[in-house]
C-alpha cells in the first residue's frame, strides 16, 4: 500500500541515531547555458518569498518576458566565471562542507553528518535531507549560509525545509539558524580577511561593504536585513579602527523598476570614480561563498564602472569561502546550537558499541514481529 509520507525501506530500528547539519546556499544552474539557466531562474524567480506579486500577474511577466530574454544574457555571465570544476558557488560550498566535516569530526566522535543543498537547483533540499536520513540522522540543524536574515533568503529556506519535512514519516528534532550577522567568529574571520588583503595590497582610500539588495518595501514591512547588514559593517569597521568617512554600506544586484535598498553599489562606485578616489576596496560580507554576484558583478562590471568614471585602483576582497577561520567559526556555531544534542548523540554512540543492548534487542524483535 502506498503512502503519502516518505520513509526508509527496511529501516533499522536498532541503528544508532546521529546529528545532521544541512548547509544551504542559494543555488546555481547545472551548466552555463541558456537551457540550464532558464530552468534555474524559473524555480528561483517563482518563489513567492523572492517576488511578492500576485501569482497570475507574475506568471505572465516571468514566462512572457523574463524567461524569454534573461537566460541567454545570464548564461554569458556564468560562462565568464565557470571553472573546470563547475560553478564557483558549488565548488566553494562543497569545500566548506569538507572543511566543516573535518573540524567537527574529532569533537563529536564522528557522530555528526553534513550535507550541502541549494535552495534552487541541485542538490535539492529534499535530496540532501534524504541523504542525511539514510545515515540515521534524527537531529537536524539547518544552517542557511546567509549571515544576515532576510525573508527572501533565510525565510525561503525555512519554507522549503518545512515543506520537505511535512512529507516525511519521521520528522527529526529540528534546529534552524536564522542568521549570524554579529557572531564573533564570523566578524573575526571577516576582519582578518580584510587585514590580510591589506598587507599585500595596501590600505585603500575607501572600503565599501556591498550587500545583496532587496526591495525597499520588504524592509518597510519589517524585514530586518537592512539593519543586520549595517550592524555587520559597523562591527567590522570598529575592529579595523576605521573612521566613518573611510567606509560605506551599499546594496547591489537590484532588478526591475521598483526602489530597492539604497545606496546602490553601482551608483556609489560611479560617484567615487567621479570624485577621483585613488583606491577602493569592495568586500561582500553577505556572501559566504564567491559566486556570480561577487566574481562578475563586483570584480568585473563594477570595477569597470569605477574606472570609466575616473577612479583609481580597485580591488575586490574575496568572500570567506573555506578559509580556516571561517570554517572554525561555522564549526563553533554548529557546536553551540547542537550542544543540547551532543550528550544524547554520545550516549547513542556508546549504546551502539555495547553488545547486547536490551533496548536495541527489543526494537529489533518488535520490527521482526511487525513484518510477520
Q: What DSSP letter does each residue of 104-118 carry, written as one string?
A: HHTTTTT-EEEEEEE
Shared-domain flag, residues 25 and 91: yes
Shared-domain flag, residues 113 and 28: yes
Give yes or no for a contact between 275 and 215, defined as CB atoms under 8 angstroms apart. no
What local confidence, expressed as pLDDT, does residue 347 receive? 53
Taking the C-alpha atoms of residue 9 and residue 205, their distance in angstroms, rounded to an integer, is 61
- What is the Rg, in whole angstroms, of the alpha carbon atoms belonging to the chain? 23
What local confidence, expressed as pLDDT, does residue 279 receive? 98
What local confidence, expressed as pLDDT, does residue 359 receive? 46
The sign of the torsion formed by the CA atoms of 216, 218, 224, 228 equals: negative
DSSP per residue, 345-361? HHHHHHHHHSSS-HHHH
What local confidence, expressed as pLDDT, does residue 9 receive? 72
Shared-domain flag, residues 216 and 336: no
Shared-domain flag, residues 226 and 212: yes
**Residue 334 placed within a domain:** yes
**Residue 242 placed within a domain:** yes
Q: Tell me how many domains the chain contains.
A: 2
pLDDT mean across residues, the chain: 92
User: The domain that contains 117 carries what CATH number?
Assistant: 3.40.50.1400
DSSP per residue, 264-303? BHHHHHHHHHHTT-SEEEEE-TT-SS--HIIIIIIIIIIH
**φ, ψ dihedrals at 277, nearest 5°:** -60, 135
Shared-domain flag, residues 195 and 232: yes
Shared-domain flag, residues 28 and 106: yes
What local confidence, expressed as pLDDT, does residue 367 receive? 44
128 contacts: CB under 8 Å, gap ≥ 6: 22, 115, 116, 117
Shared-domain flag, residues 64 and 171: yes
E strand segments, the chain: 18-27, 112-120, 137-144, 173-176, 206-212, 247-252, 279-283, 313-317
526591495: which residue's cell? Answer: 215
Taking the C-alpha atoms of residue 239 and residue 237, their distance in angstroms, rounded to an integer, is 5
For the chain, residues with pLDDT lower than 70 are 1-2, 14-15, 344-372
**Residue 2 placed within a domain:** no
Residue 213 belongs to domain spanning = 184-317
**φ, ψ dihedrals at 76, nearest 5°:** -60, -40
Taking the C-alpha atoms of residue 65 and residue 152, their distance in angstroms, rounded to an integer, is 22
575616473: which residue's cell? Answer: 310
**Residue 208 placed within a domain:** yes
Shared-domain flag, residues 41 and 133: yes
Taking the C-alpha atoms of residue 45 and residue 120, their distance in angstroms, rounded to an integer, is 10
Residue-wise pLDDT tens digits, 164-192: 999 999 899 999 999 999 999 999 999 99
Shared-domain flag, residues 134 and 262: no
Shared-domain flag, residues 126 and 237: no
Shared-domain flag, residues 219 and 194: yes
Shared-domain flag, residues 65 and 206: no
Q: What angle is formed at CA 190 by the lines to CA 187 and CA 50, rounded to 5 degrees?
A: 85
**Residue 167 placed within a domain:** yes
What local confidence, expressed as pLDDT, does residue 294 receive? 98
Q: Is the pTM of this model over 0.85?
A: yes
Amino acid at each position: 500500500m502506498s503512502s503519502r509520507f516518505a520513509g526508509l525501506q527496511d529501516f533499522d530500528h536498532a541503528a544508532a541515531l546521529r546529528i545532521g547539519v544541512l548547509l544551504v546556499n542559494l543555488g546555481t544552474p547545472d551548466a552555463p547555458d541558456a537551457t540550464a539557466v532558464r530552468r534555474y531562474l524559473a524555480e528561483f524567480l517563482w518563489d513567492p518569498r523572492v517576488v511578492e506579486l500576485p501569482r497570475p500577474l507574475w506568471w505572465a511577466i516571468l514566462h512572457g518576458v523574463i524567461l524569454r530574454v534573461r537566460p541567454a544574457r545570464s548564461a554569458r555571465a556564468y560562462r565568464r566565471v565557470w571553472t573546470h570544476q563547475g560553478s564557483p558557488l558549488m565548488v566553494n560550498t562543497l569545500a566548506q562542507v569538507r572543511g566543516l566535516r573535518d573540524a567537527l569530526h574529532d569533537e563529536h566522535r564522528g557522530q555528526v553528518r553534513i550535507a550541502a543543498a541549494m535552495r534552487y537547483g541541485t542538490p535539492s533540499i529534499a535530496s540532501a535531507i534524504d541523504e542525511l536520513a539514510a545515515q540515521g540522522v534524527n537531529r537536524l540543524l539547518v544552517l542557511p549560509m546567509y549571515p544576515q536574515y532576510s525573508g527572501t533568503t533565510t525565510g525561503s529556506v525555512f519554507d522549503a525545509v518545512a515543506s520537505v519535512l511535512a512529507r516525511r514519516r519521521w520528522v527529526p528534532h529540528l534546529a534552524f539558524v536564522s542568521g549570524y550577522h554579529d557572531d564573533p567568529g564570523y566578524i573575526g574571520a571577516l576582519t582578518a580577511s580584510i587585514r590580510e588583503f591589506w598587507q599585500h595590497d595596501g590600505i585603500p582610500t575607501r572600503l565599501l561593504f556591498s550587500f545583496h539588495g532587496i526591495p525597499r518595501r520588504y524592509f518597510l514591512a519589517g524585514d530586518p536585513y537592512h539593519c543586520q547588514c549595517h550592524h555587520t559593517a559597523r562591527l567590522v569597521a570598529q575592529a579595523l579602527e576605521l573612521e566613518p568617512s573611510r567606509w560605506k554600506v551599499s546594496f547591489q544586484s537590484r532588478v526591475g523598476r521598483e526602489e530597492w535598498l539604497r545606496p546602490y553599489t553601482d551608483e556609489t562606485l560611479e560617484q567615487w570614480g567621479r570624485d577621483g578616489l585613488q583606491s577602493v576596496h569592495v568586500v561582500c560580507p553577505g556572501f559566504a561563498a564567491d559566486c556570480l554576484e561577487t566574481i562578475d558583478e563586483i570584480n568585473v562590471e563594477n570595477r569597470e564602472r569605477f574606472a570609466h568614471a575616473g577612479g583609481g585602483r580597485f580591488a575586490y576582497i574575496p568572500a570567506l569561502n573555506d578559509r580556516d577561520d571561517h570554517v572554525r567559526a561555522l564549526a563553533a556555531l554548529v557546536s553551540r546550537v547542537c550542544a543540547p544534542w551532543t550528550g544524547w548523540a554520545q550516549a547513542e554512540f556508546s549504546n551502539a558499541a555495547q553488545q547486547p543492548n536490551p533496548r536495541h534487542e527489543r526494537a529489533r524483535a518488535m520490527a521482526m514481529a511487525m513484518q510477520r
